[in-house]
Amino acid sequence: MNMIELKQVSRCYGTVQALAPLDFSVKQGEFVTLLGPSGSGKTTLLNLIAGMVSPSSGRIFVRGVDITDAPPSARGLGMVFQNYALMPHMTVFDNIAFPLRVRKMPMDEIRRKVKEVLDLVRLPDIASRKPKELSGGQQQRVSLARCIVYNPALILLDEPLGALDKKLREQMQFEIRRLHAELGITMLNVTHDQDEALSMSDRIVLMNQGRVEQIATPDELYRSPRTAFAASFIGTANLISGTVQGSAGQHAIVSTPLGMLRAAMTSQAVSRGAAVKLLVRPESVRMVPAPASSDLALDNAIADGRRHAGTLEDSITLGSVVRHHVRLPGDMQIVVQQQGSRGPAAHARGASVLLDWAPEDCQMILQD
Ligand SMILES: Nc1ncnc2c1ncn2[C@@H]1O[C@H](COP(=O)(O)OP(=O)(O)OP(=O)(O)O)[C@@H](O)[C@H]1O
Ligand SMILES: [Mg+2]
């Protein structure tokens, strides 16, 4: 069953189309992330579902009920904001108890519920403190506790971890995933952090300029991006422009500044003469030092576009992996990623290197 369903929902502000008409649904129990650059329409989409903003067109359904015109309080949704939005003069207990008091729950039940959620977010001993006596991460967990205390069927999170440092953010990502799994609450999260989206989500809605670029699982989005934007936004992408010349067996033949390259066929129809981009991920590129003496077989491989001679410009160690920047003829730069243990030291800056990759790891992308 769909927890949320949007049918042709859009939103304009004057002449600005913050969100182009969109069809989109979230299944019960799913963890979905809205990912995209600043201004791409993520908050607008979340606010439309929460009822803080009304759509310019389209209808919104929660559990099959049309709630397009319902006020926020009647939608039964929880919302966690980036700035915690805790009430500063109230203790943690009173902050969390607030939504239950509004719902006129008996006091002993309120005490039991507040203790339960504070245990859940692993802050059992801070009920009597004020928000300013807590760290940022603790305040964040209290806002989460206040949100889950009244068992909403759906929680909307707008960059709730944006203000936290990397370590705390990773910890909170883990906590939110745990709560999601334990409580079975449907969650719709907003972030512009690709790592957060990839590590937390069942599905990602990738947004760009008020439009959906792609809706897919993290794995699918990384392995089979449909657009050049999607390829570059998720991970690092080597994109090579080219024109389709034909096919040979399982592969497409594409003419590029690096010569004729073989690429994996896509499920979409591609015609001869079509302008495409070829995507090769850094970890799919093999790099070896170029041999000192000339070699006919190698010259042929280079002429054929099966191997590429270049110059190593830079190597950067990022923990367990090393990233190399290699300059190829035609002023093209290719990023190569290798496991750190496999010796970047062997390659000096300015060294001549040879690159190659399997045609299966070279994907055709048809749209910008
Ligand atoms: N109240 C408003 N009035 C006018 N324009 C608005 C309003 N709210 C948002 N916009 C515009 O709509 C577009 C989408 O904004 P939105 O807040 O949804 O982006 P976002 O993806 O959440 O960005 P960020 O990552 O910076 O939070 C932007 O161009 C923004 O300027
Ligand atoms: Mg926003």
CA distance 61 to 290: 60
pLDDT computed for residue 268 by the predictor: 78
Q: Which residues surround ligand 2, an ion (CB under 5 A)?
A: 43
Show the tokens assigned to 271: 């015609």
Residue 341 has pLDDT above 60, yes or no: no
**Residues 337-361, mean pLDDT to the nearest whole number:** 81
- What pLDDT digit, counting tens, does each position of 29-71 carry? 999 999 999 999 999 999 999 999 999 999 999 999 999 999 9
C-alpha distances out from residue 222 to 119, 130, 194, 287, Å: 36, 43, 11, 22
Residue 303 pLDDT class (50, 70, 90 cuts):
confident
Q: Which positions ≥6 away from 1 have C-beta within 8 Å?
A: 27, 28, 63, 64
Measured by CA distance, the residue closest to atom 13 of ligand 1 is 18
- What pLDDT digit, counting tens, does each position of 268-291 carry? 778 899 999 999 999 999 999 988
Measured by CA distance, the residue closest to atom 25 of ligand 1 is 38
CA distance 50 to 67: 10
Mutation test residue for ligand 1: of 43, 46, 213, the one with most atoms within 8 Å of CB = 43
Distance 162 CA to ligand 1 centre (A): 17
Burial of 267 (0-12, 13-18, 19+ CB in 10 A): exposed
pLDDT computed for residue 111 by the predictor: 96
Is the CB of residue 141 less than 8 Å from the CB of residue 169? Answer: no
Measured by CA distance, the residue closest to atom 2 of ligand 1 is 13
Beta-bridge partners for 280: 238, 362
Tokens 């066929």 label which residue? 265
C-alpha distances out from residue 56 to 9, 17, 69, 239, 249, Å: 7, 10, 12, 37, 49
pLDDT computed for residue 7 by the predictor: 97
Provide the percentage of residues in the chain whose pLDDT is more than 70.
97
Which ligand lies nearest to the CA atom of residue 48 in the structure?
Answer: 1
CA distance 45 to 35: 11
CA distance 49 to 58: 12
pLDDT computed for residue 165 by the predictor: 77
**Residues 104-122, mean pLDDT to the nearest whole number:** 92
Residue 207 has pLDDT above 90, yes or no: yes
55: three-class secondary structure by DSSP: coil
Phi, psi of 233 (to 5 degrees): -75, -35
**Residues 310-318, mean pLDDT to the nearest whole number:** 91
Residue 252 has pLDDT above 90, yes or no: yes
Measured by CA distance, the residue closest to atom 31 of ligand 1 is 39
363: three-class secondary structure by DSSP: strand
Q: Which positions ≥6 away from 110 have C-beta within 8 Å?
A: 97, 100, 101
Show the tokens assigned to 141: 């967990």
Residue 99 has pLDDT above 90, yes or no: no
CA distance 205 to 4: 14
CA distance 124 to 110: 15
Q: With DSSP H G I counted as helix, E B as strand and the rest as coil, what are the percentages for the chain, rounded to 5?
A: 30, 35, 35
292: left (phi over 0), alpha (psi -120 to 50) or beta: alpha
pLDDT computed for residue 109 by the predictor: 95
**What is the residue-averaged pLDDT of the chain?**
90
346: three-class secondary structure by DSSP: helix
- What pLDDT digit, counting tens, does each position of 152-179 carry? 888 999 888 776 778 778 888 888 888 8
Measured by CA distance, the residue closest to atom 26 of ligand 1 is 38
Distance 190 CA to ligand 2 centre (A): 8
Distance 18 CA to ligand 1 centre (A): 6
pLDDT computed for residue 343 by the predictor: 53
Q: Which atom of ligand 1 is nearest to the CA of 207?
A: 21
In order of their start, the domains of the chain are 2-229 (3.40.50.300), 236-300+307-365 (2.40.50.140)
Least confident range from 131-145, 250-264, 292-306, 332-346: namely 332-346
Is the CB of residue 364 less than 8 Å from the CB of residue 270? Answer: yes
Show the tokens assigned to 85: 């939005």
pLDDT computed for residue 197 by the predictor: 93
Residue 107 pLDDT class (50, 70, 90 cuts):
very high
pLDDT computed for residue 85 by the predictor: 78
Least confident range from 155-164, 210-219, 351-360: namely 155-164
- Signed CA dihedral, 118, 183, 191, 2: sign only: negative
Residue 192 has pLDDT above 80, yes or no: yes
Residue 342 pLDDT class (50, 70, 90 cuts):
low
Residue 82 has pLDDT above 70, yes or no: no
CA distance 227 to 204: 15
Distance 139 CA to ligand 2 centre (A): 20
Show the tokens assigned to 229: 């934007």
| Overall residue count recorded for the chain in this entry | 368
Cβ neighbours, 10 Å, residue 310: 23
Which ligand lies nearest to the CA atom of residue 56 in the structure?
Answer: 1
Least confident range from 52-56, 187-191, 341-345: namely 341-345
Pocket of ligand 1 (CB under 6 A): 13, 16, 18, 36, 38-44, 192
